[in-house]
Structure 1
Amino acid sequence: MTGRLLGGLLAAGLVMGTAGTGHAAPADSRTAAAASVQTSATAAKAATYPQVYLNTVVNQWTHWAPDYYDSTHAGWLYAGSNYFYCIKEGVYYSDNGRRSRYWLLTDDDSGNRNVYVSEVYLDQWGWDNVYSLLDYC
């Protein structure tokens, strides 16, 4: 229940353009360690995929894992043309009139590498074509 509530609050913040502002909970050492292991494993994979540019329609949080949880918040990816490496199945996320469990691996505008964003914020063309453009991670 708490996860749904937090997810709903996060989604509401994203719609209003305030997502992530003051919402990030401090990560404990287990979360940081898990993110570090996951990120280094993903880093090797990202290098093997080409960069595919797609347009995103909102500024959004990036995450160390393919989910929307505060504990995995990494940084920000700004709206506009962004490159992505691959697509990965993760936690379902709903916003922007869409629902998906697929997350895109990218490098964010905060300087973090190998982080995930939900595909729900792709423009219509990206939403329609993402599966034919990106390989699965």
Structure 2
Amino acid sequence: MATAGLLVTASQAVAAPQAPQAPASASTYNFTTVIDQWTHYSPDANTSSHAGTLYAGTSYFYCWTYGAWYSNNGHYDDIWLKTDDDTGHRGVYVSDVNLDQWGWQHDQQYLPQC
């Protein structure tokens, strides 16, 4: 009987594998963007740095950095957020001016500087 209990315990351990843990350097924080927007390979709004698209809604971000000044959505600043966009481009930037009001006010508080 004790042997059967050990087998059940062993099979339960095999049946419920743990999800791999992301490395600490890959930590993210979610914010909500209010419009679909271009992503950029560098923190600027130049057409030459256009990468893909980040769609409106909740997205994860890695960090913030200073970049070109940009105005939209009633905001104006030089803070750009690093993310992966919805069209397959990794490590790209969007201006934080397109975050919802709460995100725009708190992104530097919750994200590390790149």
Does residue 120 (structure 1) correspond to residue 81 (structure 2)? The answer is no
Does residue 48 (structure 1) correspond to residue 25 (structure 2)? The answer is yes
How many residues matched? 91
Cα distance in 2, alignment partners of residues 64 and 90 from structure 1: 12
For each residue in 1:92-113, what CA deviation from the matched residue of structure 2 results, as whole angstroms up to 9, or x when unmatched? 0011111010100000000000
Where does residue 69 of structure 2 map in the other structure? 92
Cα distance in 1, alignment partners of residues 112 and 26 from structure 2: 8
TM-score by length of 2: 0.77
From the two aligned structures, give the one with the greater strand fraction.
2
Q: What amino acid is the match of 1:119?
A: D
Deviation of 1:49 (Å):
4.3
Q: What amino acid is the match of 2:47?
A: D
**Given the alignment, which residue of 43, 64, 68 partners 1:66?**
43
Q: Which is higher, the Rg of structure 1 or of structure 2?
A: 2
Cα distance in 2, alignment partners of residues 62 and 69 from structure 1: 10
**Given the alignment, which residue of 88, 92, 107 partners 1:130?**
107
Uncovered stretches (5+) of structure 2, i.e. residues with no partner: 1-23
Cα distance in 1, alignment partners of residues 72 and 28 from structure 2: 25
Cα distance in 2, alignment partners of residues 88 and 109 from structure 1: 21
Where does residue 58 of structure 2 map in the other structure? 81
Q: What amino acid is the match of 1:80?
A: G
Where does residue 86 of structure 2 map in the other structure? 109
Deviation of 1:122 (Å):
0.4
SS in 2 for 1:136: coil
Q: What amino acid is the match of 1:66?
A: P
Q: What amino acid is the match of 1:130?
A: D
